[in-house]
Structure 1
Amino acid sequence: MIIRKEYKFYAAHRNEELQDKCRNLHGHRYGIVCHFEVQRTGSYSTLFSDFDEKIGPFLKEHYDHGMLINVHDPLYATLKQHMEVHGEDFKLREFQGPTSVENLAYQLFTDITEMGFELVRLDVQETDTSVITYDREDWARDQKAQIFSSVPTADTAH
């Protein structure tokens, strides 16, 4: 059985490897749709609130109104220096690679799976007309390919 849950968050990022408008710092209202495999254990399988109690606060704390940033992007060092010099504390969600929607899908799939949920598919909407569908096979393939040498965790996010 599949349970489908939707969440939204706002975040800034840039695709520093591209030579187009997306190289500039900009933001999105990301929509994510999680598809969870659940097993029925009586009259219900899983309470919807079981997902909301973990995923909603996690997204709010680590992603919402923050900046997704590649730690290898030169802007990262500049932001870290600015924070230190001026005593500001920006919410930075650190990535070990570009902050493309594909890499965001990988990271979110990892984050949600590490919460103990059986995520089978994740849809990430970056714009009104652009959605990426990322499934368990994509995740396994990306883990095997080690798309990031190490992925950020809740402990390393700012």
Structure 2
Amino acid sequence: MMIQKQYKFYAAHRNEELNDKCSNLHGHRYGVTCFFEVERTGSLTTLFADFDDSIEPHLKREYDHAMMIHVKDPLYQTLLRHMKETGETLRLKCFSCPTTVENLAHQLFTEITEMGFRLNRLEIRETDTSVVSYTREDWVNDNRYFASYQIPPSESVS
């Protein structure tokens, strides 16, 4: 059986590898739809709150109103220097790869799976007309891809 849950968060990012408007710092209202595999164990499979109690605080703490940034983006060092010089704390969600919606899907799939949920599919809406559908098969393939390049896991800086 599948249970579907929807979440949202606001975050800034840029893709420093592109030579178009997306290389500029900008933000999105991301919509995240999770499709969980659950098994009936009686009259009830899972409480919806079981998902919300773990996933909502994680998204708020790690992503909401943060800047997702690739640690190899030159802007990252500039932001670290700015925080050190001014004492200002910026909410940065660091990625070991460019902050594309595809890479965000991989990162979120990993984090939600590590919470112990059986995620079947994840959909991320970046704009009203642009959605990435990311499956467990995509996640397995991406894990192989990232492992072959020995990319370290992302880390969060706040």
With structure 1 as the length reference, what TM-score do the two structures score? 0.96
Question: In structure 1, how many angstroms separate the alpha carbons of the residues matched to 2:122 and 2:157?
Answer: 21
Unpaired segments ≥5 residues, structure 1: none
Question: In structure 2, how many angstroms separate the alpha carbons of the residues matched to 1:28 and 1:152?
Answer: 20
Match of 2:59 in 1: 59
* Structure 1 residue 105, shift from structure 2 partner: 0.3
- Which deviations, in whole Å up to 9, do the C-alpha atoms of 1:62-102 show, x marking residues without a partner? 00000000000000000000001100111100000100000
Match of 1:32 in 2: 32
Unpaired segments ≥5 residues, structure 2: none
Match of 2:106 in 1: 106
- Which deviations, in whole Å up to 9, do the C-alpha atoms of 1:87-131 show, x marking residues without a partner? 011110000010000000000000100000000100000000000
Question: In structure 2, how many angstroms separate the alpha carbons of the residues matched to 1:3 and 1:77?
Answer: 41
Count of residue pairs the alignment pairs up: 156
2:83 maps to amino acid: M
Q: State yes or no: 1:43 paired with 2:33.
A: no
Aligned counterpart for 1:149 among listed residues 144, 151, 155: 151
Query: What are the residue-to-residue correspondences of 1:125-136 with 2, within 5 Å?
Result: 125-136=125-136
* Off by >3 Å, runs of 4+ in structure 1: none
Match of 2:70 in 1: 70
Match of 2:137 in 1: 137
Question: In structure 1, how many angstroms separate the alpha carbons of the residues matched to 2:14 and 2:89?
Answer: 19
Match of 1:9 in 2: 9
Which secondary structure state, in structure 1, belongs to the residue aligned with residue 16 of structure 2?
coil
* Structure 1 residue 146, shift from structure 2 partner: 1.3
With structure 2 as the length reference, what TM-score do the two structures score? 0.96
Computed over aligned residues only, the root mean square deviation of the Cα atoms, in angstroms, reads 1.0
Identity %: 60
1:76 maps to amino acid: Y
1:72 maps to amino acid: K
